Amino acid sequence: MNTANVAGKMLTALVLGLCLIVFGVGAQAAPKKLLVVTVTKGFRHSSIPTAEKVLGDLAQKTGDFTVDYVRDDTEMAEKMTAAALANYDGVIFANTTGILPLPDKQAFLDWIKSGKAFIGMHSACDTFHGPNGTVDPYTEMIGSEFKEHHAQAEVDCINQDPKHPADKSLPPSWHLKDEIYLMKNFERSKVHGLLTLDKHPNDKTPGDYPIAWCKEYGKGRVFYTSLGHREDVWDPNTAPSFKRENPKDVSELYQKHILGGIRWALGLEEGNAKP
């Protein structure tokens, strides 16, 4: 090997190294881009403006991600085509309901499968029910479907994975009041459990009543929590007109719960997703 050859190889190695440093650091520092979807075609929760504000505040406070909102059909038609979705790293369905007018639902699901993040709160599970009792592909993606709820209830959520980013700030048993969903088309063997109840939220019959979980979807990551009906679950600083029933620490823990779920789904933090 002559000297010129060696010098050439060293130069190549140096340039490659510099590229790795520049792009490596750049990728780490750039915030991820999330779409926050709050379109409803069924029940519309009064907590939606609170949810939008809390997610925007979390984005700003952490610098982990930016949020762009999809609040109506026009914004959905613009920002959720296959081409437009390519600009984002993931999506948050915050209390969506009903059959949403996605420009191309299959392209949306394929986009998640390609390695994007899907985060759902509360009625994200009350979205896209299949016709005549069939299971919609969206339900398979999120991992369950809302069946019914009864009166709001005080429950003790069992922390199923204290090591997971979504659970690491929560106590072993987390007491709160919310509207608690009863699910259908849920298969424990297809998700990684994060929060559950060991008794029915209302009549207290023993059983398994899933509250939050995560799962892989192709190369994508899905995080869902059924909590988030009440304003005082989302926000420790609700308006004076809102009659608080949850102490502030419930909302502070909820924000840590969803932030951990968001960070995990975006691949910013690792956690078990195996069933």
3-class DSSP state of 3 = helix
Q: Which is nearer to Zn ion, 55 or 233 (CB)?
A: 233
Across 28-107, the runs of DSSP E, i.e. the strands, are 32-37, 65-70, 90-94
Q: Which is nearer to Zn ion, 123 or 159 (CB)?
A: 123
Would you mind telling me the total number of residues written for the chain in this entry? 275
Residue 227 beta carbon to Zn ion: minimum distance, rounded to whole angstroms = 10
Please say which residue, 89 or 145, places its beta carbon nearer to Zn ion. Answer: 145
Binding of Zn ion at residue 229 (CB under 5 A)? yes
User: In terms of CB distance, is 161 or 231 closer to Zn ion?
Assistant: 231
- By beta-carbon proximity to Zn ion, the closer residue of 94 and 158 is 94
Q: Does 230 engage in binding with Zn ion (CB under 5 A)?
A: no
Contact 240, 141 (CB under 8 A): no
User: Residue 233: which residues within 8 A CB-CB, separation 6 or more?
Assistant: 47, 176, 178, 227, 246, 250, 251, 254
Restricting to residues 44-73, name those near Zn ion by CB under 5 A.
none
Q: Assign 3-state DSSP to the chain and report helix, strand, coil percentages, each to 5.
A: 35, 25, 35
Query: Which part of the chain contacts Zn ion (CB under 5 A), choosing from 78-86, 154-162, 226-234, 254-262?
Result: 226-234
| Count of residues engaged in binding Zn ion, rule: CB under 5 A | 2
Binding part of the chain for Zn ion, among 24-32, 171-179, 204-212, 230-238 by CB under 5 A, reads: 171-179
Q: What is the smallest separation between the CB atom of 95 and Zn ion, expressed in angstroms?
A: 7
Residue nearest to Zn ion (CB): 229
Q: Which one of residues 89, 161, 167, 179 is an interface residue with Zn ion (CB under 5 A)?
A: 179
Q: Which residues lie below 8 Å from residue 162, measured CB to CB, with a gap of 6+?
A: 168, 170, 172
Nearer to Zn ion, 81 or 152 (CB): 152
Specify the long-range contacts of residues 50-54, CB closer than 8 Å, at least 24 apart. Answer: 50/231, 50/234, 50/235, 50/238, 51/94, 51/95, 51/121, 51/228, 51/234, 52/94, 53/235, 54/234, 54/235, 54/255
Nearest to 250 by CA among 225, 224, 228, 223: 228
Least separation, in Å, of the C-beta of 250 and Zn ion? 16
What's the CA gap between 34 and 29, in Å, rounded? 16
Q: Contact region for Zn ion (CB under 5 A) — 24-32, 53-61, 176-184, 230-238? A: 176-184
Minimum Å distance from CB 82 to Zn ion? 31
Segment interacting with Zn ion (CB under 5 A) among 33-41, 105-113, 229-237, 249-257: 229-237
**C-beta closer to Zn ion: residue 59 or 100:** 100
Q: Which stretch binds Zn ion (CB under 5 A): 4-12, 106-114, 178-186, 213-221?
A: 178-186
Binding of residue 126 to Zn ion (CB under 5 A): no
* b/e map 114-145, b = 16+ CB within 10 Å: eebbbbbbbbbbbbbbeeeeeebebbbbbbbb
Measured from the CB atom, is 221 or 229 closer to Zn ion? Answer: 229
CB of 123 to Zn ion, least distance (A): 6
Using DSSP's 3-state secondary structure scheme, residue 261 falls into: helix
Binding site for Zn ion (CB under 5 A): 179, 229
